[in-house]
A and B are shown apart, each in its own frame.
Chain A
Amino acid sequence: MKKGLIILALLIAVSSAFAADADKGIVTVYMPSPAGLANKLAADFEAKTGIEVRTFQGTTGEILARLETEKANPVADVVILASWSDGLSMKDSGQLESYVPENADKMVEGWIDEDSMLFGYSASAVGVIYNTLIYPTLDADWDALADPAYKNDIAIPDPELSGACKDFVAGYVNAFGWDTFEALAANGMVVPGANRAALDAVTTGEVGVLIAGVDYNAYSSMADGEPLSIYYPASGTVVNPRPAMIMKTAPDMDNAKAFIDYLLSDDAQKMVTEAYLLPGRSDIEYSNRSTLDEIPQIPCDWDAMMAISTDSAARINELCER
């Protein structure tokens, strides 16, 4: 019995030492996919500064949940989300620290908020992704996909899990109302899961068309040689800056600021474009995907969108429930 107690005591001692050690030279970053980019950014930042990066990677929904769980004992320094509107609601609830990073002046207009709390260091757009073995070409507009020709062959990522899809739904509904989504749902639209699961459904041909699919995933699968193609419908889509934010409760505030500076540096921005995302700075060049000015956009009223985004996302899942 003594042995058991000693071991338990040791366990507790070791673990508290472990926890105490965590206060020096680290930065904890919560970030969404793509995992490859997150790992590369973390490794490069570690190499440049010697600050250890601890990451938690999950969907926007999982990251928000984790922050909520840890409210009593905050862990995160920097949080990156795939949804600008979720970033705005974090700002609204007073969770964010204001900071003016280096290179802030070079950012795309509007990709940094007026209080300098949200830094859109990269962006994605959603488009229509289709399987070229099933549809050799396709350029139908959003509402045209409700045509019986595509019955039971359309999917949408789960907007409650995918931040990009959530913002698109909010933007589209805000501009054009619910008619298109209702018609699509009536046409047998399915929700296979988060972004990657939805892309997988169209890659394997489980469905022929994925609407509101994030573009960088599609570009990277296309580069691998999968039978996919993507276009942005003529009536426009939502380009979604991915906000990096510093938590007010950050245990390692200086490191958090250094990490934000790093995200807007030339090297990090180059890695962003290599992951097929749109760079957050307007002076970075890229040629591996559609450029920002080539993408037709729906005019976005982010405040109005933030107000309806959570309910709209839930509504999509209700509409598509069978």
Chain B
Amino acid sequence: MRRKVMMSVFVALLAFLILCPLLSIFAEAVFQDGIFSLGPAIATIRESENAAMIGSSLLLGLLVVITSSVIALPLAYIFSRTQLARYRFFDVIFMIPFMTPPYIASMGWILFMQKRGLMQQLFPSLSFITDHFFSLGGLVLVMSFHVFPFMMTMMKNAMLSVPSSLDEAGAVLGATFPTRLRKLFMPLLTGNYAIGALLVFVKTISEYGTPSTLGRRIGFEVFTTDIHRYATVAPIEFGKSASLASVLVGICLLIWMLQNYITMKKTYSLIGGKGGAMHIRKLSPPALAAAVAFIVLVIFFSMVIPLFSVISSSLINLRGYGFRSGNFTLGNYVRLFTEDNQGTGALAVSIFLAISSASIAAILGTLIVMAIRRTGRRTGQAIEAMALLPEMLPSIVLVLGIMLFYNAIYKLIPIYGTIWIMVLSYVILFLPYTVQYVSSSYSQISHSLLAAGRVSGGSPAYVFIHVTLPLISRGIISGWMMTFIIAFRELVTPSLIAPTNTLTVSTYIIRQFEQGSVGKGMSMAVICILFSTVSLLFLNKVILRKRH
């Protein structure tokens, strides 16, 4: 009985944290002065500029899916089935574009490509590219170079799971390589590809960083930028913002359902008991050269250009003179910390938010996983669905909901306009990471271990502390670190609900880029990238390598 009460309190708490903000978006969209009406919401969606925006968001998603496939599929093949698959360090290298915050990468591209920017200073003959870059094409390219590692990893793992015996059987029966690719590989991988493509699509239409920097430059409005604009620039129109957010939620949920359907119907279990041996394909020298050239090209575009551009902009003294000997300085880094206390303040706020949200999410996430394991199937599924919901929805939608909800209940819980609403928002946004990491390590624990603990006389608390906790600690730590890294550079929450006097690393960079000193902004960007990369390496090398 007591457990049942606890469990319902728990479900209510999650519903309060995650569902209420979402519901307040729908309420804002359909209630006008307390009267239910779908009219204004539908009118908003049918406004010609909003309809055009919805069209261009979907077009952007589609184009990014196509472009990132063109980048990711060859790489996935190269790194799963050719002799280059041996070089595992590429796994880490291709994490870099995915780990670089998208707003920083697109600032790097802007600084590189703009008229009389870095590219034109270095290679004046290439200046004709500039006009072509500041277009939808450029936006698609930048977003694809951010998101492709995601699809690459998925497809690589899928390809690795196709046993070579199938390929060999095809070859023995006389099928040429292109035929085997078409008749064998492609049908087996269609399901996986569809899932990857849908995920890339959702990620693209949910992304705020790139559209808000590069997209704004070229006047390309998408869902996220419009939701943000209606909620933050005078005249404020929360109703419109909420209507668009509701449509976006609908699209995302539809895609997740489709993805779920495909997973059930179109994926094949290829790993049997036999453990299919993997034969790598030895590429001919010209093919090898082409593969290496392709890898180099992708690295150049996805990493070298944006990083080079960000780093060199952080070192340029007078922007009016650009690349010129004597015009390089470390002064921007010095001024970042000494000129005023905003730079250090932003770092302190981001570190505080990252640590506090990671810790709260770790505790809450662990409790959620334990609750899921210990309760009935129905309740468990409900809890899990709620806890994972934030990952399926665009963060801008959730943050808008949090903003509306806590504004409405300010009299009850006065945290709107304080730093605590940011902590809360971060916890909600990043809770799924902890839940997934802890859940996967929890599922590896055999029940007999816990039973042994109980039989030997340990109280439930004792068994938890001495048996369960040590076994799931790696999951908790990984979840903590991932949350820490991602929270450190989070952009959407602070740009919507940061209280007065509060800048984070991300809003500091954007503010400096748009209204202050580009040099200082880019110095902070370099610090942010270093911080993420070092944390990730630390996670990989130190924590995850330790074996129990």
Task: Name A's B-contacting residues (CB within 8 A).
Answer: 1-5, 7-8, 11-12, 14-16, 18-19, 28, 30, 33, 35-36, 39, 54-56, 59, 61-62, 64-65, 68-70, 72-73, 75, 131, 133, 160, 192-197, 200, 203-207, 224-228, 321-322
User: Could you tell me the distance in whole angstroms from the C-beta of B318 to the nearest C-beta in chain A?
Assistant: 5
Contact A225 B318 (CB under 8 A): yes
Give CA–CA (A322, B136) in the complex, Å. Answer: 13
Residue B116 is within 8 A (CB to CB) of chain A in the complex? yes
23 A-B interface contacts by CB (under 8 A): A1-B367, A7-B360, A11-B424, A12-B415, A15-B413, A16-B415, A19-B414, A19-B418, A28-B500, A30-B500, A36-B339, A39-B340, A56-B500, A64-B234, A133-B320, A197-B515, A203-B320, A205-B115, A205-B320, A206-B115, A206-B116, A207-B115, A227-B318
Chain B: CB-nearest residue to A228: B320
Within 8 Å by CB of B367, from A4, A28, A227, lies A4
Kindly list chain A residues whose C-beta atoms are within 8 Å of the C-beta of B342.
35, 39
B418 touches A15 (CB 8 A): yes
Which among A1, A18, A33, A35 has the highest number of chain B CB atoms within 10 Å?
A: A1
Residue-by-residue, is B198-235 near A (CB-CB < 8 Å gives 1, otherwise 0)? 00000000000000000011010000000000011111
A59 and B464 CA atoms in complex are apart in Å by 53
Closest to A15 in B: B420
Q: How far is the CA of A62 from the CA of B216 in the complex (A)?
A: 16
Least distance between A310 CB and chain B CB atoms (Å): 9
- Closest CB-CB distance, A219 to chain B, in whole Å? 15
B371 near A1 with CB under 8 A, answer yes
Closest to B365 in A: A4
Q: Could you say which of A36, A73, A195 contacts B407, with CB atoms under 8 Å apart?
A: A73
- The 8 Å CB contact of B117, one of A193, A204, A226, is A204
Interface flags, B361-377, vs A, CB<8A=1, else 0 = 00110010001000000
Question: A73 to B410, Cβ gap below 8 A?
Answer: yes
Q: Given contacts A12-B415, A35-B516, are A68 and B420 in contact (CB under 8 A)? A: no
Task: Verify A65–B234 contact, CB threshold 8 A.
Answer: yes
Q: Closest CB of chain A to B85's CB: distance in Å? A: 44
Report if A3-B367 is in contact (Cβ < 8 Å); known contacts: A204-B114, A204-B319, A226-B318: yes
Looking at the complex, which of B6-14, B31-39, B184-192, B441-449 is the stretch in contact with chain A? Answer: B6-14
B321 close to A (CB within 8 Å)? yes
Q: Does B518 contact A (CB under 8 A)?
A: yes
For A65, A133, A225, which residue has the most chain B Cβ atoms within 10 angstroms?
A65
Q: How far is the CA of A322 from the CA of B217 in the complex (A)?
A: 11
- For B500, the chain A residues whose CB sits under 8 A away are 28, 30, 54-56, 75
| Contact present for B322 and A204 (CB under 8 Å) | yes
Q: At the interface, is chain B mostly helix, strand, loop or mixed?
A: loop
**B488 contacts the other chain (Cβ, under 8 Å)?**
no
Q: Are A33 and B232 in contact (CB under 8 A)?
A: no
Selected from A11, A33, A68, the residue in CB contact (under 8 A) with B236 is A68
Alpha-carbon distance A196/B516, docked complex (angstroms): 6
- In the bound assembly, the distance between CA atoms of A70 and B364 in angstroms comes to 31
Whole-angstrom distance between the alpha carbons of A131 and B319 in the complex?
11
| Segment 322-376 of B: residues with Cβ below 8 Å from A | 322, 339-342, 360, 363-364, 367, 371
Residue of B nearest to A192 (CB): B217
* Distance between Cα atoms of A107 and B282 in the complex (Å): 83
Q: With the chains together, A195 CA to B511 CA distance in Å?
A: 12
Residues of A within 8 A of B318 (CB): 224-227
Q: Are A68 and B6 in contact (CB under 8 A)?
A: no
Known contacts A12-B413, A16-B414, A68-B234; A7 and B363 CB within 8 A of each other? yes
Measured between beta carbons, the chain A residues less than 8 angstroms from B7 are 1
> Separation in Å of the A43 CB from the closest CB of chain B?
9
Interface members, chain B 415-429 (any A CB < 8 Å): 415-418, 420, 423-424
Contacts of A70 in B (CB 8 A): 417
Other CB < 8 Å A-B pairs besides A14-B420, A33-B515, 8 of them?
A1-B7, A4-B363, A30-B500, A65-B234, A65-B236, A68-B236, A200-B518, A204-B117
Instruction: Name the A residues within 8 Å of B9 (CB-CB).
Output: 1, 5
B320 cross-chain contacts in A, Cβ below 8 A: 131, 133, 203-205, 226-228
B418 and A195: CB pair below 8 A? no
Q: How far is the CB of B387 from chain A (nearest CB, A)?
A: 12
By the criterion CB–CB under 8 Å, are B515 and A72 in contact?
no
Which residues of chain B are within 8 angstroms of A68 by Cβ–Cβ distance?
234-236
In the docked arrangement, what's the CA distance between A315 and B518, Å? Answer: 29
Q: What's the Cα separation between A120 and B533 when bound, in Å?
A: 48
Determine whether B501 belongs to the interface, using a CB cutoff of 8 Å to chain A: yes
Distance (Å) between the CB of A209 and the closest chain B CB?
A: 13
B91: CB under 8 A from chain A?
no
CA–CA, A56 and B114, complex, Å: 31
Q: What is the chain B residue whose CB lies nearest that of A33? A: B515
Cα A176 to Cα B461 with chains together (Å): 81
Interface contact A226-B319, CB-CB below 8 Å: yes
Contact of A200 among B319, B341, B501 (CB under 8 A): B319
Query: Which interface residue of B7, B322, B501 has the most chain A CB atoms within 10 A?
Result: B501
The answer to whether A322 and B414 touch across the interface, beta carbons within 8 angstroms, is no
CA distance A36 to B407 in the complex (A): 31
- A15:B414 contact, CB within 8 angstroms: yes
CB nearest neighbor in B for A131 = B320
Q: Closest residue of chain B to A160, judged by CB? A: B233
| Minimal beta-carbon separation of A158 from chain B (angstroms) | 10
The answer for the CA separation of A200 and B110 in the assembled complex, in Å, is 13
Chain A contacts of B168 at CB under 8 A? none
Contacts of B424 in A (CB 8 A): 11
Other-chain residue from A61, A75, A227 in contact with B321 (beta carbon distance below 8 A): A227
Q: What per-residue 1/0 map shows which CB atoms of B287-325 lie under 8 Å from chain A?
A: 000000000000000000000000000000011111000
Cβ contacts under 8 Å, B13 to chain A: 4-5, 8
Interfacial chain B residues near A16, Cβ < 8 Å? 413-415
Complex CA distance for A282 and B518, rounded to whole angstroms: 35
Please give, as numbers and ranges, the residues of chain B lying within 8 Å of A65 by CB-CB distance.
232-234, 236
Q: Please tell me if the beta carbons of B219 and A322 are within 8 angstroms of each other in the complex.
A: yes
Which residues of the other chain, A, contact B117 by a CB distance below 8 angstroms?
Answer: 204, 206
Shortest CB-to-CB span from A268 to chain B, Å, is 17
Which residues of the partner chain A approach B363 to less than 8 Å between Cβ atoms? 3-4, 7
B417 touches A75 (CB 8 A): yes
Q: How far is the CB of B384 from chain A (nearest CB, A)?
A: 15
Pairwise interchain contact A55-B501, C-beta atoms closer than 8 A? yes
Provide the bound-state CA to CA distance between A200 and B360, in Å.
41
Once A4-B367, A54-B500 are accepted as A-B contacts, the answer to whether A196 and B515 lie under 8 Å apart by CB is yes
**CB-defined contacts of B410 to chain A, threshold 8 Å:** 72-73
Residues of B within 8 A of A54 (CB): 500-501
Residues of A close to B235: CB separation below 8 A: 68
Residues of A within 8 A of B236 (CB): 65, 68-69
Q: Determine the distance from Cα of A1 to Cα of B418 in the docked complex, in whole angstroms.
A: 26
**How would residues 6 to 45 of chain B score, 1 for a CB under 8 Å from any chain A CB and 0 otherwise?**
1101100100000000000000000000000000000000
User: Which chain B residue has the least Cβ–Cβ distance from A14?
Assistant: B420
- When C-beta atoms are compared, the residue in chain B nearest to A322 turns out to be B219
B232 contacts across to A, CB distance below 8 A: 62, 65, 69
Within 8 Å CB of A225, what residues of B? Answer: 318
What residues of chain B lie closer than 8 Å to A194, measured between beta carbons? 514-515
Q: How far is the CB of B217 from chain A (nearest CB, A)?
A: 8
Given A12-B415, A19-B418, A206-B115, A72 and B407 touching (CB < 8 A)? yes
Shortest Cβ gap from A185 to chain B (Å): 14
Question: How many Å lie between the Cα of A2 and that of B234 in the bound state?
Answer: 43
B residues near A200, Cβ cutoff 8 Å = 319, 518
B407: A residues at CB distance < 8 A? 69, 72-73
User: Which residues of the partner chain B approach A56 to less than 8 Å between Cβ atoms?
Assistant: 500-501
Q: How far is the CA of A231 from the CA of B154 in the complex (A)?
A: 58
Q: Using Cβ atoms and an 8 Å threshold, which residues of chain A touch B340?
A: 35-36, 39
